[in-house]
């Protein structure tokens, strides 16, 4: 069986592919903020979560709590960290569903973490489009559970890992993440915890992303399948994504949204062509399949209202999360299981594309 080409991890490869400088180091001024603290990471076995674990480890916390529902992925990152050199850092592995609020409460009451980086999520756009109930259960209710308990037990800082697809969403995944952002923004006014959101673009080598797919298709001789020749996306590396999460957690005073400065959006067609050139293979075709349900040609990074108080640095944009009154999230969370797939999809998009939203806190 032929081994599939993996995504090269070097900055040189990423810079050649994206045609911009890779921002890999944000940690020089944040060591003291994480040093000797307890850091809990949900989705710790995923591609983003595991890199957050590695970067937090380098800052010498007292304890890293790895939370996830997949025992093999949690075992793998636990094994990796426990075999690193700093044996003073306690590594705790917890198999815990974020949809189980009682279990989350037991865990946080026992551990009393200082930081929570919430990376657990369903993120695949077509799959969530076909499974909106799972998107609500995991991305909205799961986030609400972890975020509320973090406030109840006095966590210092809670960081939600979100996506640019949450900006004016047109699909279930983006809408579910947008509602999660709204809940987190509301909780920032309810608890002493500093709540913030980090929005990612497309992460180059993460599971389910386009570059590993293209490399597999190149290995197979093509064609490379793209939905539209004009489609653009913002791209970042896994290391950049994790660095932004950790940096945001140490900078935030609550109620803000952090976005990496990723330069200009890149045509996915150009990414495909560069990968073909880098492969050295000839006659690899590109095939256009048409935009899928819920996809946009172009993504945004911040909502219009979030830009009003926006700060911009060389590394990132920092917008202010807007908490607006009044809407149907309470109805959604109470009744979503009784709605059909089609009705739930309509409700999600209706909620996230209205100007005024009220966030219920108890369901």
Angstrom distances, CA of residue 173 to CA of 22, 71, 148, 169, 282: 27, 24, 21, 8, 36
**Residue 20 class from Cβ within 10 Å (0-12 exposed, 13-18 middle, 19+ buried)?**
middle
CA within 13 Å, CB half, 168: 11
CA dihedral 185, 104, 93, 95 (to 10 degrees): -110
- The count of residues in the chain is 363
Residue position matching structure tokens 């993440």: 177
Catalytic residue among 38, 123, 165, 177: 165
Closest CA to 61 of 69, 70, 52, 73: 52
Gyration radius of the chain over CA positions: 20
Give the separation between CA 45 and CA 68, rounded to whole angstroms. Answer: 7
Count other Cβ atoms within 10 Å, centred on residue 363.
12
Give strand ranges (E) for 46-205.
Answer: 63-68, 90-95, 115-118, 157-163, 194-200, 202-203
Q: Is 247 a catalytic residue?
A: no
Which residues, 6 or more positions from 119, have their beta carbon under 8 angstroms from its beta carbon? 41, 42, 43, 44, 46, 48, 49, 52, 161, 245
- In DSSP terms, 117 is beta-bridged to 41, 159
Closest CA to 159 of 68, 241, 54: 241
Catalytic annotation, residues: 165
């Amino acid at each position: 069986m032929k081994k599939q080409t993996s995504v090269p991890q070097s900055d040189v490869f990423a810079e050649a592919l994206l045609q911009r400088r890779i921002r890999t180091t944000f940690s020089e001024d944040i060591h003291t903020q994480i040093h000797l603290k307890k850091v809990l990471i949900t989705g710790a076995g995923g591609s983003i979560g595991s890199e957050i674990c590695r970067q937090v480890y380098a800052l010498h916390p007292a304890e890293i709590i790895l939370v996830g529902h997949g025992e093999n992925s949690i075992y793998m990152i636990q094994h990796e960290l426990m075999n690193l050199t700093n044996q003073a850092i306690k590594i705790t592995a917890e198999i815990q569903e974020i949809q189980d609020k009682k279990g989350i409460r037991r865990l946080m009451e026992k551990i009393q973490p200082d930081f929570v980086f919430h990376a657990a999520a369903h993120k695949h756009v077509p799959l969530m489009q076909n499974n909106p109930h799972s998107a609500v259960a995991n991305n909205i209710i799961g986030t609400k559970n972890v975020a509320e308990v973090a406030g109840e037990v006095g966590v210092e800082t809670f960081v939600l890992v979100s996506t640019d697809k949450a900006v004016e969403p047109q699909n279930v995944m983006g809408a579910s993440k947008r509602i999660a952002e709204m809940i987190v923004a509301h909780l920032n006014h309810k608890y002493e915890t500093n709540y913030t959101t980090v929005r990612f673009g497309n992460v180059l080598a993460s599971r389910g992303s386009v570059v590993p797919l293209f490399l597999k298709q190149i290995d197979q001789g093509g064609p490379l399948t793209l939905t539209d020749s004009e489609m653009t996306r913002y791209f970042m590396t896994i290391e950049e994504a994790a660095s932004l999460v950790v940096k945001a957690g140490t900078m935030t005073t609550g109620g803000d949204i952090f976005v990496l400065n990723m330069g200009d959006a890149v045509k996915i067609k150009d990414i495909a062509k560069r990968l073909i050139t880098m492969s050295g293979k000839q006659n690899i075709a590109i095939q256009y399949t048409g935009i899928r349900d819920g996809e946009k040609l172009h993504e945004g990074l911040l909502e219009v209202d979030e830009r009003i108080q926006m700060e911009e640095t060389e590394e990132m944009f920092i917008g202010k999360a807007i908490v607006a009154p009044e809407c149907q999230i309470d109805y959604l969370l109470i009744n979503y299981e009784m709605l059909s797939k089609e009705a739930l999809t309509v409700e999600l998009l209706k909620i996230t594309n209205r100007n005024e939203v009220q966030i219920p806190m108890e369901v």
